[in-house]
Structure 1
């Protein structure tokens, strides 16, 4: 499935599944005090993944082609490879409860 088609599928799902609710997610969250105890590669992943999740929720009206292109570009920039990276980090830090807790809130399968 092409990246554009995947992103359009997300937009269609949002329109069908939750017409009364907004599919837009909140802007990327700031890491809390725990980030001081997280390894730098985990913090870097969380920052990238939060941007990914933000833009996944920013699917504009399909008639707004310019914004659609911007969102697709951002999704491709921040989301590609995040499934594999999440699995890699979970395996690397399997004995760290702090890291496992920080990563547990992320869906492990967002890529097609």
Structure 2
């Protein structure tokens, strides 16, 4: 999450205007996905299920959305400064596999 704050801070200094809401939302979602992907869950089945749920909530569609926003804002240097450093392949699995995998995850009690 510190990376997200740094990116948003950088973007604020790079342009006087605010970033488009769709860009800010993608940066936040991408950061959340990256966070869940980096969480340790080995040896703890309950924690692993929590991580899988978090991944399913934040990761699907991030790669395609990032690519679409890069195309849309390719002429906007302030937006590109924020989007360019993001990993274009953060999703841990393909769309069909993610759909099947996420259909079997359950919402943990802490997320209700």
TM-score normalized by structure 2?
0.69
Aligned to 2:107: none
CA RMSD of aligned residues (A): 1.8
Distance 1:47 1:97 in 2: 19
Aligned to 1:70: 50
Aligned to 1:3: none
**Paired residue secondary structure (1:109):** coil
Alignment of 1:95-110 (within 5 A): 95-110=75-90
1:29 aligns with 2:10: no
Distance 1:107 1:56, change over 3 A: same
- Is the contact between residue 42 and residue 99 of structure 1 (CA under 8 Å) also seen in structure 2? yes
Higher RCO by CA contacts (8 Å cutoff, separation 6 or greater): 2
- Is the contact between residue 27 and residue 54 of structure 1 (CA under 8 Å) also seen in structure 2? no
**Paired residue secondary structure (1:110):** coil
Distance 1:105 1:33, change over 3 A: closer
TM-score normalized by structure 1?
0.69
